[in-house]
Structure 1
Amino acid sequence: MNKEIHATRIGHVNLKVSNLESAIAFYTDVMGLTLMQRFGTGGAFLGYGGYHHHIGLNTLSSEGGAPPPESCTGLHHVAFLYPDRDALIAAVQRVITHLKDVGSDEVPQVRDHGVSEAIYFHDPDNILIEMYCDRPTEAWPYDSAGNLAMFNKQVELEAFLNS
């Protein structure tokens, strides 16, 4: 494989949000990013570990806007990869606290994908967020022909948190 292609990775995502202040608060307080730079009242860059930005937020054409209808094309979700299960559980507990604090009745959905455990919920702009941690590659499921055999099994939130 071409070394340049193999070294390529996804760098950041830029989200159109309806309210910059609430989006910054959510992504810093709940998701743990650091505000790296603001662009007046129209945008911000947030990152982990001092990186210039993993998430861009902007209200350039979306301030006060509504989420797109479910049937529209576009971003399905933003995924946050945690280094291990303990870090994921701690992050999920912050999300549960946040959802209760804002009066949301949303219950994060837990899925076992075989290669990873993932939790799904929505940010203040109804953007689907995935938080996950990978299992060791030697634990990944394969079919009898040696092909990766991921799946999407629902897991109860309490069972995930207590396992």
Structure 2
Amino acid sequence: MTPETQKTSGARIGHVHLKVADLARSVAFYQAALGLEVQQYFGTEAAFLSFDGYHHHLGLNTWHSARGPRPAPNATGLYHTAFLYPDRAALGRALRRAIDAGVRLDGAADHGVSEAVYFSDPDGNGIELYWDRAPQDWPRDKAGQLAMGNAGLDLAALLALA
């Protein structure tokens, strides 16, 4: 594929589906911390949640994981699910909601292309909340390639926008 073909493919990630140990606990967490709304339960073993009435951005199930342990930190698997917000103020509001829900942050960074905060759900699944800067503002090296970084993020300034 050429870069031009990749840019016009139209493909994107549509949703994430996670295995969880306790469906009710996970649904409550994602509702409180992120504001997701349940669109449908599939019996007592799965739930589909979304923002703004979409069929689902996040699926949760206990089909093979009911009462299961958290994965070890050095196990393979999903590193995090990233939730993209339209602008910095929306990210600030999302961060305020998560903190108000009792979330403990694992980290925060200014990556140059985006600003992000990180935490985990009750099953140890990583979560990233972020917003992207405009592509013309992304840092680039002398060859024009992306030059993302991992600088500190001023959380107080971000929260002031909330």
Normalised to the residue count of structure 2, the TM-score between the two structures is 0.89
Write the mapping of 1:53-64 to structure 2, written as runs, cut at 5 A. 53-64=56-67
How far residue 4 of structure 1 moved from its aligned partner, in angstroms, is 9.7
Q: For each residue in 1:89-111, what CA deviation from the matched residue of structure 2 results, as whole angstroms up to 9, or x when unmatched?
A: 01101111112xxxx6x335210
| 2:79 equivalent to 1:76 | yes
Separation in structure 1 between the aligned mates of residue 24 and residue 36 of structure 2, nearest angstrom = 14
How far residue 152 of structure 1 moved from its aligned partner, in angstroms, is 1.2
| 2:149 equivalent to 1:155 | no
Q: Which runs of 4+ in 1 moved over 2 A?
A: 1-5, 154-163
Of residues 28, 48, 51, the one that matches 2:51 is 48
Question: What residue number does 1:11 align with?
Answer: 14
Separation in structure 2 between the aligned mates of residue 134 and residue 4 of structure 1, nearest angstrom = 17
Identical-pair percentage: 49
Separation in structure 2 between the aligned mates of residue 124 and residue 97 of structure 1, nearest angstrom = 16
DSSP-derived class of the 1:81 partner: strand
Unaligned runs of 5+ in 1: none
| 2:33 equivalent to 1:30 | yes
Q: Is the 8 A contact 2:93 2:159 kept in 1?
A: no
Q: For each residue in 1:43-67, what CA deviation from the matched residue of structure 2 results, as whole angstroms up to 9, or x when unmatched?
A: 0111122211110000111111111
Separation in structure 1 between the aligned mates of residue 150 and residue 88 of structure 2, nearest angstrom = 18
DSSP-derived class of the 2:152 partner: strand
Question: What residue number does 2:137 align with?
Answer: 139
DSSP-derived class of the 1:6 partner: coil
Structure 2 CA distance for partners of 1:93 and 1:3, relative to 1, 3 Å: closer
Corresponding letter in the other structure for 1:67: R
Report the number of matched residues: 158
DSSP-derived class of the 1:154 partner: coil
Normalised to the residue count of structure 1, the TM-score between the two structures is 0.89
Of residues 38, 42, 59, the one that matches 1:39 is 42
Question: What residue number does 1:21 align with?
Answer: 24
Unaligned runs of 5+ in 2: none
Corresponding letter in the other structure for 2:143: A
